[in-house]
Chains A and B, each alone.
Chain A
């Protein structure tokens, strides 16, 4: 994905910005389990249908957001940034960031905030308590499953055993010790830099 990070040259009208905003508004309430679950649909819309982004720009946006500090949802900001770059330059890039982030966040945050406040006010209700207790084991299992899926995206053949070893070792170290997480991430980066994993 490296050399081919060329930009496109798009003529973006107010109507196009509005369509971009509308698309993210509509995806927001579908993003159960995190915004990344709607990434396939974003690819379909931005790359295949509208031709606002290249494949390389799309993939790089996700990779960079995952390696940067902060919530992974920022990959959406980068998608918006790249659409904006293609439509002009830095200024339209920033416009793209705001249009996409506001679109993906406004509906879901409004709903979550309202629902959570309601749940907190009614936390003694049997149904609310049953929900929280019942979801307990599901939530813990989802964490382990997320870890598994992330690890297998690094490679799932036998020759990839060093990557799995790093994942397993860091899981056990963090579980059993109070070492700062940044040391482990730094160690992972070094091992990767020298091609050991």
Chain B
């Protein structure tokens, strides 16, 4: 097993720590866990830097499967191997699964209330904002990117337009823009 990236840095103490950390993290993630993952792992626990988060998120994003599930596997696996990956994954899914089932049973009774639909809509709007904030925060980490900030912004804008406005399927965007960006980075790294 490869050693953790740095020795002085805070890191999960045990499998239980991983399980509990990811459980608490998942329970805060209404409308998706991504915004919370960044805040907890990077800003609060400092298990990883912004740059490392972007790198790991790239892998989590490009592999099949739910992104945050992939990320929990990767973080757990880095410190404690397969056991760590399983502990983090179990933390991410177990308690939220129980909660969502309870909620489904409750929902069947309260779905008719107009306030409930409104509250869901309001929380959805906030959740969308949280994800944008995560993007804005990570944008600062691109300063150190080998591509240079101007190329980063150019690629980013193209990617946003393709996905958000033109609604091109993710696979095509990754294969074209993503591949182009990686080739550019490969050439810059030679120097």
Contact = CB atoms under 8 A, between A and B. Distances in A.
Contacts of B160: 141, 144-145, 148
A30 B171 CA distance: 10
A1 B111 contact: yes
B114 to A, nearest CB: 7
Question: Which range holds the interface residue count of chain A?
Answer: 35 or more
Given A133-B145, A168-B129, A74 B97 contact: yes
Question: Which range holds the interface residue count of chain B?
Answer: 35 or more
Interface string B72-116: 011001100010010001001101110111011001100110111
Contacts of B107: 60, 64
B47 interface: no
A139 B61 contact: yes
Contact of B131 (A31, A147, A193): A147
A64 B153 contact: no
A140 to B, nearest CB: 5
A91 interface: no
Contacts of A33: 61, 67, 170-171
B96 to A, nearest CB: 3
Contacts of B48: none
A136 B36 contact: no
Nearest to A74: B100
B74 A68 contact: no
B59 A192 contact: no
Contacts of B95: 70
A32 B174 contact: yes
Contacts of A132: 54-55, 58-59
B168 to A, nearest CB: 10
Contacts of A14: none
Interface string B27-56: 111111111100100010000000000111
A3 B54 contact: no
Nearest to A177: B133
B65 interface: yes
Interface in A122-164: 126-127, 129-151, 153-154, 163-164
Nearest to B35: A181
A64 B104 CA distance: 7
Interface string B148-191: 00011101111110011000001101100110011111101110
Nearest to B75: A116
Nearest to A152: B164
Interface of A: 1-3, 5, 28-35, 37, 60-61, 63-74, 77-78, 81-82, 97, 101, 104-105, 107-109, 111-113, 115-117, 119-121, 126-127, 129-151, 153-154, 163-164, 166-175, 178, 181-182, 184-185, 187-197
9 contacts: A32-B170, A32-B174, A37-B170, A74-B100, A109-B69, A113-B74, A148-B132, A148-B160, A169-B129
